[in-house]
């Protein structure tokens, strides 16, 4: 399994990566935390954001699972946001990101030819024009590894296939469907057969029926579209060789290597809901929390970090912009054959991409 780093549209994250600050340095955790507190007050809520704690814990977990020197072999960079069209990188952002990508390769010499992957959200007509400017620029670059584009919009996929054929599409986690409800992962699944199913049935038969329902329901929760032959045929039609998944604890069977399709596993923040309405933007402009507007967003999400108080110990829930995320840290649910498959990727986001 390869390791990629996912950075948000804000180019400052790329600069921090190049300066060696974005990834925890073990014994330098306190120094790193102080650096963020002093230089990035916009990333803080009333207290230090849970993102910092999750950042440190997830880096340690990656090293525990994949080896202490795993960050010496970063295979590529994912750049951009997948959850909001107003966070999509403009052409000027892409130009700067490519420049920072070159600096990254210079500062941290690669063990292989690294891949630059542009992450895109779903977009409306207005933002599609700006997005096409970015795609056209990337399509014109002469670069060793073909540039990839994560698509979360069927219109964007169609445009790439028809106009920007030098780019390699990756099927994003927003349009690759899996069930992400955190309640199932936290509390398990319970079934209560009723009606004709249990009419005149002995108690033992009712228990057997309940266990059977639970078994198939859990199997359903451990499946995704990529396991379907029809879906794989669709991917081949549009020259898609990779699909994205959120890493979810207690979903061992979800992470099964596919024969001809690479899996991009987003870690440690699983996206559990998103939409065009934006509660975070509504903090400063209440109308945006009630209906989607088509003007350019001021990116309020870069100023506010909304964390939810949850009763269950062991995970955090955060809202950034129009999306909610749940932390998923324990990598022991990855199967050994998945980890050994070099066509699979762990896409590590030190911070939620905004």
3-state secondary structure of 318: strand
Residues 93 and 52 in one domain: yes
Contact 58, 269 (CB under 8 A): no
Does 98 reside within a domain? yes
Query: Is the backbone of residue 48 left (phi > 0), alpha (psi -120 to 50) or beta?
Result: beta
Looking at residue 265, its pLDDT comes to 92
* Structural element, H or E, at residue 76: strand 76-79
Q: Is the pLDDT of residue 45 over 50?
A: no
Residues 105 and 74 in one domain: yes
Q: Is the pLDDT of residue 348 over 90?
A: yes
Residues 218 and 243 in one domain: no
Does 313 reside within a domain? no
Cα-flanking dihedrals φ and ψ of residue 208, to 5°? -65, -40
If one counts the domains in the chain, the total is 2
Q: Is the pLDDT of residue 159 over 90?
A: yes
Looking at residue 34, its pLDDT comes to 62
Pick the last residue of a domain from 222, 254, 287. 222
Looking at residue 134, its pLDDT comes to 95
Range of the domain at 259: 2-178+227-276+322-348
Q: What pLDDT digit, counting tens, does each position of 119-149 carry?
A: 999 988 888 999 999 999 999 998 888 899 9
User: pTM value?
Assistant: 0.85
Does 204 reside within a domain? yes
The pLDDT confidence band at residue 166, using thresholds 50, 70 and 90, is very high
Q: Is the pLDDT of residue 49 over 50?
A: yes
The pLDDT confidence band at residue 351, using thresholds 50, 70 and 90, is confident
Q: Is the pLDDT of residue 13 over 90?
A: no
Residues facing residue 263 across a β-bridge: 243
Residues 49 and 155 in one domain: yes
Q: Going edge to edge, which strands form the sheet with 269-273? A: 269-273, 323-327, 317-320, 306-308
Does 300 reside within a domain? no
Residues 63 and 111 in one domain: yes
Residues 77 and 147 in one domain: yes
Does 6 reside within a domain? yes
What does the alpha-carbon distance between residue 227 and residue 49 come to, in Å, rounded to a whole number?
A: 37
What does the alpha-carbon distance between residue 258 and residue 341 come to, in Å, rounded to a whole number?
A: 10
Residues 73 and 204 in one domain: no
Residues 217 and 333 in one domain: no
Residues 104 and 187 in one domain: no
Residues 13 and 148 in one domain: yes
Residue appearing with tokens 């829930």: 317
Looking at residue 203, its pLDDT comes to 79
- What is the CB neighbour count within 10 angstroms for residue 240? 21
Q: Which of 160-169, 273-282, 319-328 has the lowest mean pLDDT?
A: 273-282
Contacts of 269 (CB under 8 A, 6+ apart): 54, 318, 325, 326, 327, 328, 349, 352
Q: Is the pLDDT of residue 233 over 60?
A: yes
Q: Is the pLDDT of residue 5 over 90?
A: yes
Does 315 reside within a domain? no
Does 316 reside within a domain? no
Residues 114 and 237 in one domain: yes
Average pLDDT over residues 329-346: 90
Average pLDDT over residues 52-69: 86
Does 271 reside within a domain? yes
DSSP 46-67: SS--HHHHHHHHHHHHHHHHH-
The mean pLDDT of the chain is 82
Residues 33 and 8 in one domain: yes
């Amino acid at each position: 399994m390869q390791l990629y780093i996912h950075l948000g549209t804000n180019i400052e994250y790329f600069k921090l990566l190049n300066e060696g600050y974005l990834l925890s340095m073990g014994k330098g955790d306190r120094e790193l935390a102080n650096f963020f507190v002093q230089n990035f007050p916009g990333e803080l809520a009333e207290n230090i954001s849970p993102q910092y704690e999750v950042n440190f814990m997830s880096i340690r977990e990656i090293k525990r699972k994949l080896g202490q020197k795993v960050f010496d072999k970063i295979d590529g960079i994912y750049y951009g946001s997948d959850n909001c069209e107003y966070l999509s990188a403009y052409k000027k952002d892409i130009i700067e990101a490519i420049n920072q990508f070159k600096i990254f390769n210079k500062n941290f010499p690669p063990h292989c030819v690294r891949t630059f992957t542009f992450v895109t959200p779903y977009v409306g007509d207005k933002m599609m024009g700006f997005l096409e400017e970015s795609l056209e620029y990337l399509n014109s670059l002469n670069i060793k590894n073909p540039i990839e584009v994560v698509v979360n919009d069927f219109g964007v996929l169609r445009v790439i296939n028809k106009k920007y054929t030098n780019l390699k599409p990756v099927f994003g986690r927003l349009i690759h469907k899996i069930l992400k409800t955190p309640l199932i992962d936290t509390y398990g699944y319970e079934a209560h057969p009723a009606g004709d199913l249990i009419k005149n049935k002995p108690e033992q038969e009712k228990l057997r029926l309940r266990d059977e329902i639970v078994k198939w329901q859990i199997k359903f929760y451990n499946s995704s579209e990529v396991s379907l032959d029809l879906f794989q045929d669709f991917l081949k039609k549009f020259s898609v060789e990779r699909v994205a998944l959120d890493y979810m604890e207690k979903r061992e069977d979800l992470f099964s290597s596919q024969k001809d399709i690479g899996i991009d596993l987003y870690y440690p923040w699983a996206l559990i809901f998103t939409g065009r309405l934006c509660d975070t933007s509504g903090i400063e402009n209440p109308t945006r929390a009630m209906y989607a507007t088509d003007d350019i967003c001021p990116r309020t999400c870069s100023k506010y970090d909304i964390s939810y108080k949850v009763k269950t110990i062991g995970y955090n829930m955060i809202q950034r912009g129009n999306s909610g995320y749940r932390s998923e840290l324990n990598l022991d649910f990855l199967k050994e054959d998945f980890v050994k498959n070099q066509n699979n990727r762990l896409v590590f986001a030190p911070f939620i991409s905004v």
